[in-house]
Amino acid sequence: MIREVQDMEYKFPEGLKYTATHEWVLLEEQIAKVGITDYAQHQLGDIVYVEMPDKGMVFERESNAGEIESVKAVGEIIMPLSGEIIELNENIVENPELVNSSPFKDGWLMKIKISHPDEINELLSVEEYKKIVESEDT
């Protein structure tokens, strides 16, 4: 169960894992649902376009899997775990603003079939991720 915790002005749902590059991960056995964090969408501003990889593509952890364009910046989608893209959130293509309005629910980006489960240990806890945000937000 995901419970959102408001801290500063950003939401940090518990029950997720995070990356230092501002992606969140919801683990469901060997499948990872991925999106960008509330902090990341705030930093980007109004998102106007999301370029996602094709279904079936395989990526290594920390490789670039796409881009998110906003009115003020372009950000990379960095793979939090190695694996195969098994599902894309097609709603994002037509409605990229969902990443702003609902980054943890309707604005998720992709699902990955995890190929190296040991990499899960490299992901950050909510407390560890909050420290990164606090250091960047000062």
Fold of 17-120: OB fold (Dihydrolipoamide Acetyltransferase, E2P) (2.40.50)
Q: What 3-state DSSP class applies to 72?
A: coil
pLDDT of residue 6: 44
**Residue whose token pair is 């501002």:** 22
Residue 38 has pLDDT above 80, yes or no: yes
Q: What is the pTM of this model?
A: 0.91
Q: Indicate the pLDDT class of residue 55, thresholds 50, 70 and 90.
A: very high
Confidence of residue 137 (pLDDT cuts 50, 70, 90): confident
Phi-psi group of 38: left, alpha or beta (phi > 0 → left; psi -120 to 50 → alpha; rest → beta) = alpha
How far does the chain reach from its first CA to its final CA, in angstroms? 31
Average pLDDT rounded to a whole number, residues 15-25: 97
Q: How far apart are CA 49 and CA 77, in angstroms?
A: 12
pLDDT at 136: 87
The mean pLDDT value for 41-45 works out to: 92
Burial of 42 (0-12, 13-18, 19+ CB in 10 A): middle
Q: Of 26, 23, 28, nearest to 15 (Cα)?
A: 26
- Determine the pLDDT at residue 111: 98
Instruction: Please give the pLDDT value at position 3.
Output: 40
